[in-house]
Structure 1
């Protein structure tokens, strides 16, 4: 028998069954899958943000249904229907009573803001700053036009309405039976990972309910408080400013800055004393919300650093537009919950593992 027959041939690096080739193929497949995932996220930015918005809306509906269940021992479907009908009735009643006044005030506010911006531009030119009011307007328009992919996709009125309806319908379906969809996601995971998934999902749901509850309370306090205090001080368009302040309160940091600018501009249009009073009202409302409402409700659940939230808003606003601004806070809160729960699971696993060198 020849020496070649006695020698056992080993696979070369050109063969797929070579350990080296298999190892490199696994590494390449991981990077290839990661690249595909990033590309899909970029291409599917609009539906992903709409789904995320639906989850946030469903969380708000679920929170209202749970609260109603403490006083009404009826089925979940009936409680959810009451919450939805109550929300629609409140919005319809509010816009029915204030619709014509708000439309007139909105047109007047636009004129006032443009006039105030022109005055500020002229004052800056007197100080030697070359910025003109047209530059400020173009800067604002560029900021709005530079919003991300989702804003471009839903930029038209029809697109915005269609997206809102789709988001609302999806949120209602999820809120009707959230456990059904939770079990569906868990079914796609390995058996050993399902318990950890349920734990993370429950904590995320609890955190989002607390966050949204605090946000709604803050919006109500800021909107109603701003309206009553501005109305008592004789500030023009107190009702519209109150509604805008309440709506912008959904956006931490950025929303308060926008509402504050509007309040101050409209206040100073009626005189220096009125402007100073409006600025004082803005500070008082923000202090009450920042030091009483947020610490009592939302901060206990999330405890997010303001700089982290602001950075996330800038990033998500640039990537996904206005809807990214609205969803930056909930997304960061869910990421924080996932990282915390993941860290706890790893610590528990490391603690349960016997130390190396022991007889156990």
Structure 2
């Protein structure tokens, strides 16, 4: 009887319990919990490691500039890529050194006086508004400008702190140089962590991202140069004070679509009118000319050919990244959105979905 039960009785086969991992219900619930736990860990890591992640992304942006410069130089200099990359790096270092020298020797006094000029102009505007019957008091406008200037002061402090800014820039530059010297090495390293079936799509997407970033940054650099030097020279010819400082600020802020143009325009107009009505009207004309050249000639010819981003999307990303990650997130919002757009487009093509 017992032997019969041991050998052939299958009427009492045990079913898996709720604690067995191969139970379908438990396995499905564990997978759901693992997904939510993984998302929570990912969000926590992004928050905790936001600064180094942004430094790496900034290094990739600089890498695209270096690689694009080496490729562009190769059209006129038939030499090895290493030599072309060295020339581009030396040019970048010389430009940064010249900017630091100019900032330290000529722009320090102008920067110290700009806050006072802006406050005086705001006081004049508030007095004019009061005379015209507007209910906003001068103290309200002064409070508003103090809040705006306080925000700009935090931004300036984040950028101009000697240890933080210089060390971050050096880290990004060194990392960018290492990547630019042998970009395929790091690309293959990332692909090595992917399944074999996905590597071809990864290489294709990475190439499209690199091409898009090079075109985007090339257009941005050309726009910065045109706006910065154009503003500087035209304001200097018109006798507008602080022409060098306004030119440098306009060139730097040109890296930020939408927001940069508004901020630089306000500063140019306020400083222009501080020197008189004629200088103020001339400053408005300079701002309109420079923005027209950049907006209707440079951007359509260069940037929009690489990636066409809706202005509202870029502005929203700048607000979000600026609030979450500060000034570095504000500067990198546009490139990050462009890369996400390229990734989604390539993913849609690979999955066979219609490209919208």
TM-score, with length taken from structure 2: 0.90
Whole-angstrom CA distance in 1 between matches of 2:305 and 2:55? 27
For residues 227 and 152 of structure 1, do their structure 2 counterparts lie closer, same or farther at Cα, with a shift above 3 Å needed?
closer
For residues 199 and 152 of structure 1, do their structure 2 counterparts lie closer, same or farther at Cα, with a shift above 3 Å needed?
farther
Of residues 305, 308, 311, the one that matches 1:306 is 311
Whole-angstrom CA distance in 2 between matches of 1:221 and 1:138? 31
SS at match of 1:297: helix
SS at match of 1:42: helix
SS at match of 1:70: coil
For residues 139 and 109 of structure 1, do their structure 2 counterparts lie closer, same or farther at Cα, with a shift above 3 Å needed?
closer
Whole-angstrom CA distance in 2 between matches of 1:339 and 1:138? 42
Query: Is 1:317 matched with 2:317?
Result: no
Query: Is 1:337 matched with 2:342?
Result: yes
Whole-angstrom CA distance in 2 between matches of 1:227 and 1:152? 24
**Residues 69-114 of structure 1, C-alpha deviations (whole Å, 9 max, x = no match):** 2222222222111111122223434555675332333233333122
Query: Is 1:53 matched with 2:58?
Result: yes
Cα offset for 1:7? 2.9
Whole-angstrom CA distance in 1 between matches of 2:237 and 2:163? 39
Query: Is 1:135 matched with 2:120?
Result: no
Residue of structure 1 equivalent to 2:84: 79
Query: Is 1:230 matched with 2:230?
Result: no
Q: How does 1:1-360 map to 2 (within 5 A)?
A: 6-93=11-98, 96=101, 99-126=104-131, 127-130=134-137, 131-140=139-148, 143-144=151-152, 156-347=161-352
Q: 5+ unaligned residues in a row in structure 2: which ranges?
A: none
Cα offset for 1:35? 1.2
Is residue 158–residue 327 contact of structure 2 (8 Å, CA) maintained in 1? Answer: no
Whole-angstrom CA distance in 2 between matches of 1:235 and 1:329? 32
For residues 208 and 27 of structure 1, do their structure 2 counterparts lie closer, same or farther at Cα, with a shift above 3 Å needed?
same
Give the structure, 1 or 2, with the largest relative contact order (CA under 8 Å, sep 6 or more).
Answer: 1
Whole-angstrom CA distance in 2 between matches of 1:21 and 1:98? 64
SS at match of 1:347: coil
89-98 or 165-174, which deviates more: 89-98
Residue of structure 2 equivalent to 1:357: none
Kindly tell me the number of residue pairs found equivalent between the two proteins. 346
Cα offset for 1:166? 1.0
Q: 5+ unaligned residues in a row in structure 1: which ranges?
A: 351-360
Cα offset for 1:144? 4.9
19-28 or 58-67, which deviates more: 19-28
Is residue 59–residue 209 contact of structure 1 (8 Å, CA) maintained in 2? Answer: yes
SS at match of 2:188: helix
Is residue 125–residue 132 contact of structure 1 (8 Å, CA) maintained in 2? Answer: no
Is residue 223–residue 242 contact of structure 1 (8 Å, CA) maintained in 2? Answer: yes
Whole-angstrom CA distance in 2 between matches of 1:102 and 1:160? 18
Whole-angstrom CA distance in 2 between matches of 1:218 and 1:268? 26
Whole-angstrom CA distance in 1 between matches of 2:182 and 2:162? 31
Give the alignment's Cα RMSD to 1 decimal.
Answer: 2.5
**Residues 8-57 of structure 1, C-alpha deviations (whole Å, 9 max, x = no match):** 22223343321111111112111111111111111100100000000001
Whole-angstrom CA distance in 1 between matches of 2:101 and 2:159? 27
